Amino acid sequence: MSRRKYPRLWNPIAVGIMGSALAAAVGVSRGWGAASGVEVAVFLVAAFVYLLGGSDSDAGAVLGNRPDERQVLVRLKSQALAMKVMYLGALIGWAVAIALKGLYWPFDLIFSAGGLAYFIGLGLYGAHEDRPIGPIGSTDALQDSPRDPYNSMNG
């Protein structure tokens, strides 16, 4: 786990940056009056994330960047569900775009990016030959060289 200064601020800052990018896109396409409304909404969401990150709850621990193992698992499952829902939405959009004889390449891009990210994740986080997986509950996978269970039993 990495240690950062002011861990509670990282999620609201990320919300502000991504929301400001969205507001800039809205400003270019719909005008700067609409973009100012989006930026106010982004500020309110970032403030909500900051306040919730300070609460003494599961959501507060996750948003405040101080989760325990159970909350990390909940976050991982939530991210997996979000990916599945986004993939399903892209599939539905792709089918509708083809049925209406519209442009479907943006949906192909979403599929390709998701599939590529999945395989990169398997490569980064999957089991590797240089990191053997030991029995359940052991720390063999975390050590540089695996220990021999028979030698440890003999003293």
pLDDT at residue 13 in the model: 94
- Dihedral pair phi/psi, residue 28, rounded to 5°: -70, -40
Helix (H) or strand (E) segment spanning residue 48: helix 32-53
Reported as a single tens digit per residue, the pLDDT across 109-132 is 888 888 898 889 888 887 666 655
Token pair in block for residue 139: 């720390």
Q: What is the pLDDT of residues 17-53, one digit of tens each?
A: 999 999 999 999 999 999 999 999 999 999 999 998 8
**Smallest Cα–Cα separation from 49: which of 13, 20, 17?**
13
DSSP structure class, residue 136: T
Tokens of 117: 């990210």
Q: Where are the domains of the chain?
A: 1-67, 69-146
Any idea which of 13-27, 56-70, 138-152 has the lowest mean pLDDT? Answer: 138-152
Q: Report the predicted TM-score, pTM, of the whole model to 2 decimal places.
A: 0.55
Give the Cα separation of 61 and 54 in Å (integer). 8
